[in-house]
Structures are given as structure tokens and as C-alpha cells.
Amino acid sequence: MTLYSNIIGEGKPFIILHGFLGMGDNWKTLAKHFSESDFEVHLVDQRNHGRSFHSNEFDYDLMADDLKRYCEDKKLSDIIVLGHSMGGKTAMLFAAKFPKLVHKLIVADISPRYYPVHHEAILEGLSSLDFSTITSRGEADDALSHYVHETGTRLFLLKNLYWVEKGQLGLRINLKVLRENVSEVGEALPVHATFQKDTLFLRGDRSEYIGEADEAIIHRHFPNSKIISISNAGHWLHAENPKEFYIAVMNFVS
């Protein structure tokens, strides 16, 4: 089974991988900007997310292999790969497993280390949505607000809403499997996984996902890497400061 993608522009292949509970379309605005510099941007939905296939199996090894199959199907090589959060972990492992396919790697606000599970309230809130009674986005937002207090986070999560059929809402994500396998999202990169080519790590200056202690781990796995902080940004650095994020990426890839 091949991953779903939205392809924007023409030129050098540039794959973008979303984070946990996200989808490729979250990156549409930035993708359009990248495509203006002669990049063919592939906004890929990872398994159990967006419009891609649902599966009972979910881990980074599988997601890296999914991406390899996608590249084979689309006949892509010499790729730039950018991944945010969970997508960054997939991108790291993909580059380590299939270095010949990758030209440059960009990782947004995630380190190769292990992260403890911290999505419980979000997953519980999404699981509580009863689509036999919820008939609008507003009602879903109201129900979710009892679990997720930040409006921005709810808006991001509710992008997963869609009309299954007329009058019947549902979620695109495979919530049951993602909830059962949520511990996989925090898994560390395998100890011996390395990638020798140019790598850029971008971190939000207000985020705690990449700290000083992570720098040694990053350079051990990615010896040709540099780490840049994006100002006035937390974990959603590409959305919170898209201009600075865009400039940092373009300086690295051009």
C-alpha cells in the first residue's frame, strides 16, 4: 500500500513529514513557498494519519519502510527530507536506513532520544467524541475543550474531522491503533543508526524538545549536523514563526 500525498510544484524532490495526529496538509502554506524555488514538494500522510491507509501495526521501522516504498513508486532519489516531531523521527530513521536516497535531512524540534508518553489527555479527548450526537465542528470543539484547553491545539486536532457521509462526522486518523501504540511515538533512534550527510536540526527557542543535553546525542547520530534555534517559537515552530523557519530551511538547501 502506498502513502497518500499532495504534490506541489516541480523540480528537486522535497518530502515533508507531519507530526503525531497531523497530516501533510498542515504544511500546505510552507510547501507552496518551497515550490516557488524549483522544488517538487511531497506532503505525505504517514500510516494511520490523514488519507493514508490504516494498519494495526505502527512503529518507526514500518514508517521508514513506507516512505522507501513511496519513493520507489514515485521514482524519487536524491531527496531532501524534512520531518517535524514524529515525522522527524521517521525522517531520521529513513535517512539512516536508506542514505543513498537522501541528499539532505532537516529535523524540526525533535531529538533522536526517547521521550515519555505525553499525549494522554489529547487521545482521551478525541476518544470521547461521540459522532452519533456531534453534528458540527463547533460541537466537536466544545466537547474536546473539556480535555484540551488550548484553542490552537484543538484547531490542529480538529483538522482530522471529515464528513464520512452526509450528516455523519468522523476522524481521519486511526485513533484506536494510535492510542494502543502511542508509546512507539517516543521511541529513540536505534543506537547504531547514523547518517553522514548534511543535516539541519531546527528547534523552537521556547520548546523543551531539544535541550543542551540533546546536542551530543544529535552529533553522535548525525556527525555532519548543525542545530539552529527559531526565535519566538515553541514546538510548532513552523507555524509560530514560518518566516524564520522558511529562511533557515532555504539557506540550508540552496
Give me the active site residues, please.
85, 235
d(CA 23, CA 120): 20
User: What are the counts of helices (DSSP H) followed by strands (DSSP E) for the chain?
Assistant: 10, 9
From the CA atom positions of the chain, what is the Rg in Å?
Answer: 18
Of 165, 85, 166, 173, nearest in space to 129 by CA: 173
CB atoms within 10 A of CB 166: 5
d(CA 189, CA 102): 17
Alpha-carbon distances, residue 86 vs 107, 119, 125, 135 (angstroms): 10, 12, 20, 31
CB atoms within 10 A of CB 150: 9
Beta strand 79-84 pairing with 102-108: parallel
Is residue 64 within 8 Å of residue 97, measured between CB atoms? yes
Of 2, 8, 3, nearest in space to 23 by CA: 3
Question: Grid coordinates representing 68?
Answer: 522507501
d(CA 225, CA 80): 14
